[in-house]
Amino acid sequence: MNLRTLLIDNNQIVSLDFNDFARTGNLQQLWVVKNKISVIGKGTFIGMNKLETLVLSVNSSFKLPARIFSSLTKCSKLKLDVNQILDIDVDAFTGLSNLHFLNLSNTKISLIINGTFNGLNKLELL
């Protein structure tokens, strides 16, 4: 599939799971905004090594487990704003070595463990 941008906005999606994006290896932008995502499954983003922008804004409450974004090595923009992020594992952002922009505004985060942003050496805006 030659799809470069996928917009899945204003739906009733409640979870993102392993293999949901298995046939989208050329995808550069993924926007999943204004849904009801409460679960992001392990391996959801495997194979999306060309993805540069991931927007998961305005969803529900979910956790960010360890290495959830580890296969997104080209990702430079990650928006997680306007969600109720329940927990961020200290290794959640591991692998995002090209990340320049990370939006965590309006997420009701109560605790960020020291070391959570280690390895984000290109980060310019948080």
The string of DSSP codes covering 34-90 is SS---EE-TTTTTT-TT--EEE--S--EEEE-TTTTTT-TT--EEE--SSEEEEE-T
Q: Say what the pLDDT of residue 81 is.
A: 97
Domain count, the chain: 1
Tens of pLDDT along the chain (126 residues) come to: 689 999 999 999 999 998 888 888 899 999 999 999 999 998 899 999 999 999 999 999 889 999 999 999 999 999 999 999 988 999 999 999 999 999 999 998 988 999 999 999 999 999
Which structural domain, as residue segments, surrounds residue 41?
A: 1-126
Q: Which amino acid is at 83?
A: N
DSSP state of 16: E
Q: Say what the pLDDT of residue 59 is.
A: 94
What CATH number corresponds to the domain at position 5?
A: 3.80.10.10
What CA–CA distance (Å, rounded) separates 95 from 40?
Answer: 17
Q: Say what the pLDDT of residue 40 is.
A: 93
CA R_g for the chain: 13
The pTM of this model reads 0.95
Q: Say what the pLDDT of residue 116 is.
A: 96
Q: Say what the pLDDT of residue 78 is.
A: 98
Q: Say what the pLDDT of residue 7 is.
A: 96
Q: Say what the pLDDT of residue 25 is.
A: 84
